[in-house]
Amino acid sequence: MSEYILTINEKEYRAEVSEINAEYALIQVNGKEYRVDLRQLGLSKLMPVATVAETRTAAAPAAPAAIGVVPAPAALPSAAASGESSSLVKAPLPGLIIDVKVREGEKVKAGQNIVVMEAMKMENQIQATTDGTVKKIFIKKGDNVAEGNALIEIARSDMASL
């Protein structure tokens, strides 16, 4: 679970993200849980908050322990020389990789489900952040990952982003 201190109009709030996927996030603010609908903006941003849609009263379970967590990959080589740029799809929270739905070299579309990850006893669909080709897969079924770990690198042609 990710924890943040938010300052809004000079007042501090404690916020915890208990679940996040492509459609919504469950966020606790000062102990009260909200379901927040998400909308992706741009190619490299992780879906900023759009609207508060629903309030829940049940407490969220604690995040699973990250035993055997996949380490972050080594620095990626610069793709500028090849005429391509890359986008990393990262784990939004700690969890267990249930399925990898793509292979290296496969073409993907932005929003396509590429990884299924279990976190807090729920399956989360992790989606491609951009159109492109799967360049590198850093994880495999059964791996435990930490929040922010690189899962998949997607290469996209500079011409495709014009």
Q: Which two tokens stand for residue 78?
A: 């610069």
Residue 111 lies in a domain: yes
The mean of the pLDDT values for the chain is 73
Domain count, the chain: 2
Tell me the whole-structure pTM to 2 decimals. Answer: 0.49
Instruction: Say if residue 137 is in the same domain as residue 105.
Output: yes
> For 47-84, how does the pLDDT look when each residue is reduced to its tens digit (9 = 90+)?
433 333 333 334 444 434 333 444 444 444 444 444 55
CA distance 41 to 110: 12
Residue 65 lies in a domain: no
> Are the beta carbons of 50 and 37 closer than 8 angstroms?
yes
Residue 70 lies in a domain: no
Q: Is the pLDDT of residue 45 over 80?
A: no
Residue 95 lies in a domain: yes
Report the share of the chain in percent with pLDDT over 70: 67
For residue 105, what pLDDT is reported? 94
Q: Which two tokens stand for residue 70?
A: 């996949």
Residue 136 lies in a domain: yes
Q: Is the pLDDT of residue 103 over 90?
A: yes
Residue 64 lies in a domain: no
Q: What mean pLDDT comes out for the span 116-131?
A: 90
At residue 12, what is the residue type? Answer: E
Contacts of 71 (CB under 8 A, 6+ apart): 149
Q: Is the pLDDT of residue 14 over 50?
A: yes
Pick the range with the lowest mean pLDDT from 8-17, 22-31, 33-42, 107-116: 33-42
Domain that holds residue 25: 2-56
Residue 116 lies in a domain: yes
